[in-house]
């Protein structure tokens, strides 16, 4: 996956993800349990029922991450003039960030009373899509291993017909 649950925990998103991914019929997963679940850490200190709810929340999160990867791959295979082979391996850091932004947006789909222009989740999602469009169109590079030919940086070359007026053809006119 381009972005893993562990990456989300490293980004300090455990509380947010517990709030949006816990199924509605359950109490929201505790932040520390969600963090341990995202990291794949030991959860023996929690009640088995709480761990099962955290696992259900993790399934929702993993589904969003896979959907985000699908969105990204959809843009990358349409790359012009050279399409990427997906899934990318290794994964450029920017692609992992885009996957996180898109997954967060997908997980927050049910929010109400937010203003799109000031909402950081929407802003990040829109920015990820903009960069994916630029990448698809060959206007944004994913880094050193990008299959696009490098932009031309060579010297200027002139091409013209053979010179008609030379010193030998003009010899009779200058003297």
pLDDT at residue 155, as a whole number: 65
User: Three-class SS of residue 18?
Assistant: helix
Q: What are the residue ranges in the chain where pLDDT is below 50? A: none
Given its phi and psi angles, is residue 138 left (phi above 0), alpha (psi -120 to 50 degrees) or beta? left
pLDDT at residue 31, as a whole number: 97
Q: How many Cβ atoms sit within 10 Å of the Cβ of residue 148?
A: 16
pLDDT at residue 148, as a whole number: 63
pTM of the complete model: 0.80
């Amino acid at each position: 996956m381009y972005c893993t649950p562990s990456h989300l925990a490293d980004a300090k998103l455990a509380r947010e993800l517990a709030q949006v991914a816990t199924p509605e019929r359950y109490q929201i997963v505790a932040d520390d349990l969600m963090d341990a679940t995202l990291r794949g850490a030991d959860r023996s200190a929690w009640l088995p029922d709480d761990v099962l709810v955290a696992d259900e929340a993790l399934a929702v999160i993993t589904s969003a991450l896979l959907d985000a990867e699908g969105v990204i791959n959809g843009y990358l295979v349409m790359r012009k003039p050279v399409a990427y082979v997906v899934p990318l391996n290794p994964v450029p850091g920017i692609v992992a960030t885009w996957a996180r932004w898109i997954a967060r947006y997908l997980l927050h789909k049910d929010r109400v009373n937010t203003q799109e222009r000031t909402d950081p989740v929407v802003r990040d999602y829109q920015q990820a899509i903009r960069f994916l469009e630029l990448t698809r169109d060959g206007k944004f590079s994913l880094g050193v291993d990008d299959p696009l030919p490098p932009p031309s940086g060579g010297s200027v070359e002139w091409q013209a017909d053979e010179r008609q007026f030379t010193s030998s053809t003009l010899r009779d006119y200058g003297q």
